[in-house]
Amino acid sequence: MNGVNTANELTFPLPALTVDLVIFTVREEQLQVLLVRRANAPFCDAWALPGGYVDIERDDDLEACARRKLKEKSGVDAPYLEQLKSYGSKGRDPRRWTATVVYFALIASDAIVLGGNQRQVAWHPIVDHGVAQALAFDHAELIADAIARLRAKLEYTHIAVHLLPEVFTLPELQRIYEIVLGAPLEKSSFRRRVSQAEMLEPLPGQRREGDGRPAQLYRFRSYRRQTFFPRSLQRHAR
């Protein structure tokens, strides 16, 4: 009934399994996503998310597979990486029934070391809910979902710090939020949230300049836990 015979051999055809990555960064005042140009059919020459088949020899688990592919494409070792969702259907790859587990990563633009050929691997700016080009497979949908998740999480967590280098100022952090959300934020509200969460550690004495008064430098203190902001249904005390 479960399609497995006594010798533990599968008696039915398997779908293919891939891992795809939606790698975000903020460059040139824009949210951008890393795409690779396909060299083979189907969708040859179209842009697509970096990713590929799970290699059961090399990859111990799904996340290791995602990290391997991330390292191959972006050169980044330990970014923020979060599983987004899985997509699988008969038709999304014309060759065969394929499922993909999508991860999204946030990296600082200064941490990126792209492989040589910009025709093959390049950053593409996000406009609204996707990129300007038509993409291979269902990758436009995957990107739209990833953007929605990223924007939603910005509103109740601190993950945007992962889009900045280790040391940054509060105006820089606020700018990241505004670029990703596509809307200006109230300065004092923003700063209140950040300070109340106690996630940032001021780097004493140091400063940096824009054009007026320099801003205090900070470092993200705690990668251990994500901060979630309150105001939801709370447990009743008594």
Between residues 35 and 164, which has the closer beta carbon with respect to DNA? 164
**In Å, what is the CA distance from 4 to each residue of 1, 11, 87, 88, 145?**
8, 6, 25, 22, 35
Nearest alpha-carbon partner for 91 in 141, 56, 130: 141
Contacts of DNA in 133-172 (CB under 7 A): 169-171
- Minimum separation from the CB atom of position 95 to DNA (A): 47
Specify the stretch interacting with DNA by CB under 7 A; choose among 74-82, 96-104, 118-126, 209-217: 209-217
- Minimum separation from the CB atom of position 202 to DNA (A): 8
With residue 124 as reference, give the H or E element that holds it: strand 121-125
The entry of a copy of itself, DNA, none that residue 101 binds, CB within 5 to 8 Å by partner kind: a copy of itself
The entry of a copy of itself, DNA, none that residue 209 binds, CB within 5 to 8 Å by partner kind: DNA
List the beta bridge partners of residue 215: 208
Between residues 83 and 206, which has the closer beta carbon with respect to a copy of itself? 83
Q: Which long-range contacts (CB under 8 A, 24 or more apart) does 179-187 make?
A: 179/26, 179/29, 179/30, 179/31, 180/26, 180/31, 180/150, 180/151, 180/154, 181/151, 181/154, 181/155
Between residues 4 and 167, which has the closer beta carbon with respect to a copy of itself? 4
The entry of DNA, a copy of itself, none that residue 196 binds, CB within 5 to 8 Å by partner kind: DNA
Contacts of 145 (CB under 8 A, 6+ apart): 84, 85, 102
Q: Does 211 bind DNA (CB under 7 A)?
A: yes
Residues that bind a copy of itself (CB under 8 A): 2-4, 8, 10, 12-17, 40, 52-57, 59-62, 83, 85-91, 95-97, 99, 101, 154-156, 177, 181, 183-186, 189-190, 193, 229-236, 238
The entry of DNA, a copy of itself, none that residue 192 binds, CB within 5 to 8 Å by partner kind: DNA
Q: Does 89 bind DNA (CB under 7 A)?
A: no
With residue 10 as reference, give the H or E element that holds it: none
Q: Does 214 bind DNA (CB under 7 A)?
A: yes
Decide the pairing of beta strands 16-27 and 98-106: parallel
Helix (H, G, I), strand (E, B) or coil at 123: strand
- Interface residue list for DNA (CB under 7 A): 169-171, 185-189, 191-193, 195-196, 207, 209-216, 229-238
